Structure 1
Amino acid sequence: MTTETRKGQSGAVVILSGGLDSATCLGIACAEGHHVTALSFDYGQRHRRELDAAARLAKHYGVSHRVFTLPFFREMGGSALTDDTIAVPTEGVDPQRIPSTYVPGRNLIFLSIATALAEVTHSEWIYIGVNALDYSGYPDCRPEFMDAFAKVATLATRAGVEGMHIAVKTPLLHMTKAEIVAKGTELHVPYELTTSCYAGEEEACGVCDSCRLRLAGFAEAGRVDPIRYRSR
């Protein structure tokens, strides 16, 4: 089933993981007046809690929510998020190395599918919450990659050939985690509905790289993270 944009609105596909950054992207896209289709992926990640969070966020904003299953990520492995034999890092983020939580090809494939969905839904925008400052060293979160993919999306689609370019929007790219939290707070993003922890338990662990970045962002923004942590 396709979902076309409403009259007078431009369409946007928002890649929604259920975490802090993607929730902020969803809040921004809705605030900018787009007719949004939220897009999530069940790619064999360690837990489904983030998919539950994505569903809650989509319901909160009243937007269409599509979930695509990509089992081959777990079949390939090579990441602590898709291979249970690889430990999730808890020693903190080292920007000089690519961590074991990097999933090979993830954003490349996610963006390709988002581009296809944007064509089907006649959407002009793809929002993705990548961040080049307070990020975990992932090569597919860099500005160079985003610029290159935007060119590919134009060349590879009927929409691009016919003059309706699908633009990749990265509103958080040059923001610190604290700035992201501040922006989301300004937009009343329901962070209590989100999850960022790699462990995927009812209470966030507070020590994995993702939890550390999130907690630091809230602290620097002078805000209290509304989700529950084991260590607090």
Structure 2
Amino acid sequence: MKKAVVLFSGGLDSTTALYLAKSKGYQVYALSFKYGQSHSRELEAAKRIADQVGVAEHVVVETSLSAWGGSALTDQEMDIPQGEKEREEIPTTYVPARNMIFLSYAASYAEAVGAHDIFIGVSEVDYSGYVDCRQEFIDAMEEAINQGTVCGAEEDNPIKIQAPFINLTKAEEIELGMELGVDYSLTWSCYRGEELACGNCDSCMLRLKAFEEAGYDDPIEYK
């Protein structure tokens, strides 16, 4: 069976990507990160989902992007900003080079387990101004990975970064997820790690907007 590494946070996008990879017949190796984020709600969701869906392996890598801060998600001195539907500037929830770091880990993991596909649930249509959610970035990372791995540089089966939602809106992604049978009630998207999702951070607002546009009720509870 062909193998794939799925970058898996436990959020809406990565969970849909995991279901999609399984639907395509991949043996899934889920890769999550404890990177110094301010709460563990997404990681708890990731564990529940991985256990329910069934994966070949679920690895949680511990690293520390909070060592230098620079993001409201990792720096205790910075507050999570209120969401803005028409935001134009890059928000403070952007974690410097996070997807670059995560994809580098995924490339190492993929080479170790013999996977030639890496799934990442990014979109450049509906996103909060994150520069590492663009097709240009994905293409550049794929080239770098295949220049820096044996399977890419010396073999005939290079690693491919699959970004299946890159040109989809979140609403279109949810429609696909519903077709795949994704249980969105298990996912967590809120930037705040409280008992209930806040409903007013960028992530919550994008999620709520997407469910409304897709014509479904969001199954998680909000404050």
TM-score range, shorter chain: over 0.9
Classify the secondary structure of the residue corresponding to 1:201.
coil
Contact kept in structure 1, 2:83 and 2:205, CA below 8 Å: no
Contact kept in structure 1, 2:12 and 2:188, CA below 8 Å: yes
Which of 180, 184, 197 is the equivalent residue of 1:187? 180
Which of 5, 25, 28 is the equivalent residue of 1:33? 25
- Name the counterpart of 1:209: 202
- Name the counterpart of 1:57: 49
Distance 1:163 1:221 in 2: 41
Q: Normalising by structure 2, what TM-score?
A: 0.97
Distance 2:100 2:80 in 1: 22
Distance 1:132 1:151 in 2: 19
User: What do residues 128-177 of structure 1 show as CA deviations (whole Å, max 9, x unaligned)?
Assistant: 00110110100111110001111111111000122220100000111001
Tell me, yes or no, if structure 1 residue 174 matches structure 2 residue 179. Answer: no
Mapping 1:139-150, distance limit 5 Å:
139-150=131-142
Classify the secondary structure of the residue corresponding to 1:87.
coil
Deviant stretches of 4+, over 6 Å: none
Contact kept in structure 2, 1:12 and 1:35, CA below 8 Å: yes
- Name the counterpart of 1:157: 149
Classify the secondary structure of the residue corresponding to 2:32.
strand
Classify the secondary structure of the residue corresponding to 1:126.
strand
Could you say what the CA RMSD is over the residues aligned between the two structures, in angstroms?
Answer: 0.9
Aligned identity (percent) is 51
- Count of aligned pairs: 221
- Name the counterpart of 1:47: 39
- Name the counterpart of 1:4: none
Matched residue type, 1:121: V
Distance 2:151 2:216 in 1: 42
User: What do residues 106-129 of structure 1 show as CA deviations (whole Å, max 9, x unaligned)?
Assistant: 000000000000000100100000
Contact kept in structure 2, 1:94 and 1:137, CA below 8 Å: no
Distance 1:118 1:28 in 2: 18
- Name the counterpart of 1:102: 94
Tell me, yes or no, if structure 1 residue 90 matches structure 2 residue 77. Answer: no
